[in-house]
Amino acid sequence: MAAVTELRREAPGDWIGLSSVAAGSDQLFVQQVLDQGLSWHAILPLPRAQFRLDFTPFDWTVAEGFLARADHVRVIGENESREDGYLDCGMETVNDSDVLIALWDGLPARGKGGTAEVVEYASALGKPVLIIDAATFAVRKINWDALNQNEDSLVELNRLPDAAAVPAGEPKGPRNIHLFLQKCDAAATRRAPQFRRLIASTVVLHVVATVMAAAALAYEMHSASLPWIKLICLMGALAVAIELRRRGHSNSSWVRCRLAAEFCRSAIATWGLPRAAPLFQDLNLPVVRGLTRSLHILHSRSAVADPMSMAEFKQNYIAQRIDDQIAYYQRQEGRALPQFARLKMGFWVSTVLAILSTFVYAVARTWDYEPAEWVVSSVFHFLPITLPVVAAAFISLISINDLQRRVARYREMKYMLIDSRNQVKFCETWNSLERVVLKTERALLQEVLEWHSITSFSESH
């Protein structure tokens, strides 16, 4: 099959072959992939004991020989019927592929999971499909223009200037990924838009304008400067809102750089596992799709070429990932908790004072009591207007900074990481260690994705 060679010529890069190992076209494809020195991942429709029933003894011996050379073997249909397993295997092959190569006679499928259904599915998803006629070997291409479409987000990330500092020593994982991580991290730090501070400033400016208006009414202040001060505050709030809209692209770049940096950290943390961890398998974010695919391919190649002992991996993972993240969440909690406590205290003090001043005013009016003039202007007129606004501002600042959720989340992540640390220490097999590492990394990635969703929602408003 010259299809693999032609594909690599048209789209140079580090490719991974993905297929089942059925006799015929699957095994032809696998042989071509292995002959060209590419990594190959096997995807099976059924567990081996059931799958082998579809082979003659000789064909199964050949299939087992190929499976022994696979960098990873994944079973799709654990508890499904035979036909469902074959269909799901075909669809998962399409889902995990950038290009589908199909040897097909052009006839309808002769059963569930046939080539016709898989080709139709790939075409519907817009995947590039290369069809080789089983009789004439003529080649037909579908959606081929999508093959050379560059990932705009990945192109932009690659164009970022290199960071001033470079990783020292021999870090785990390829040096180029560390360099990519550092430049994304540096760009994210530079482009941090202080989005919450800008939104908070609009709240403060509106509160100042309200306080000035209430003071003018309560104390009969008729200075010509007061209306101008109120106008300046309101115009300032409007200017901040316009600035937030103007920074749309900058905010998007900031989010993209931060996401890329965190995904690189997660990939590097799992770099010593004997197979590429399926960290990003269920992610389909356009802003990082190209990056996650590239990281997975690089790790798949490295897992075979540069193995690491379990003891070394555990030591590195605990020290460089878990302990580092525990310290990070402790720092974040230490920053967010005092801020949350101060704003919450401000809300309660403002609310209680507003209630007391309104209560005094109600009692005085009910009993026709005439207090001193300063009591009337301050307690009866000024405070009942301004204090509820100030209390609402405190609540708004808590919401804008997402403090309540962040404090709870930081504590939750810290306890989860401590638990993972203990589990990693006692793992004695790669399978058990991989399960703990994947659970930990997915929890950390989920935190990043939640931040992405919250930030993206803020940007859209």
* pLDDT (tens digit per residue) in 75-134: 886 666 778 888 888 888 888 888 888 888 777 766 666 788 888 998 998 889 888 887
**Tens-digit pLDDT profile for the chain (461 aa)?**
577 777 777 777 778 889 999 888 888 889 888 888 888 889 998 888 888 888 888 999 999 999 998 888 888 866 667 788 888 888 888 888 888 888 887 777 666 667 888 889 989 988 898 888 877 888 888 888 877 656 667 777 778 888 765 555 545 667 788 888 888 888 887 766 577 788 888 899 999 999 888 888 888 887 888 888 888 988 998 898 888 777 666 667 777 888 888 888 888 888 888 777 777 766 667 667 778 877 877 777 766 666 778 998 999 999 989 999 999 999 999 999 999 999 999 999 999 999 999 998 888 888 888 888 888 888 888 999 899 999 999 999 998 888 888 899 999 999 999 999 999 999 999 889 989 998 999 899 888 887 777 666 554 44
Q: What is the DSSP letter of 145?
A: G
Collapsing DSSP to helix, strand or coil, 249 comes out as helix
Neighbours of 69 (CB within 10 A): 11
Q: What is the DSSP letter of 109?
A: P
Rounded distance between C-alpha atoms, residue 46 and residue 25, angstroms: 18
Contacts of 229 (CB under 8 A, 6+ apart): 212
Instruction: Compute the CA torsion angle 67, 71, 76, 82 (nearest 10 deg).
Output: -10
Q: Which residue has the tokens 């470079």?
A: 166
Write out the H or E segment, with its range, that includes residue 202: helix 195-218
Write out the H or E segment, with its range, that includes residue 39: strand 39-44
**What does the pLDDT read at residue 167?**
53
**What does the pLDDT read at residue 455?**
67
- Positions of CATH 3.40.50.450 in the chain: 3-148
Instruction: Compute the CA torsion angle 355, 358, 364, 368 (nearest 10 deg).
Output: -150
Rounded distance between C-alpha atoms, residue 253 and residue 156, angstroms: 9
Rounded distance between C-alpha atoms, residue 331 and residue 327, angstroms: 6
Short-list 274, 54, 293, CA closest to 21 = 54
**What does the pLDDT read at residue 440?**
93
Bridge partners of residue 42, in order along the sequence: 19, 73
- Rounded to the nearest angstrom, the gap between the alpha carbon of residue 220 and the centroid of all alpha carbons in its chain is 55
Rounded distance between C-alpha atoms, residue 277 and residue 259, angstroms: 18
**What does the pLDDT read at residue 306?**
66
Q: In what order do the strands lie in the sheet with 100-104?
A: 100-104, 129-133, 139-142
Rounded distance between C-alpha atoms, residue 43 and residue 72, angstroms: 8
Rounded distance between C-alpha atoms, residue 436 and residue 441, angstroms: 9
Q: Which CATH architecture has domain 3-148?
A: 3-Layer(aba) Sandwich (3.40)
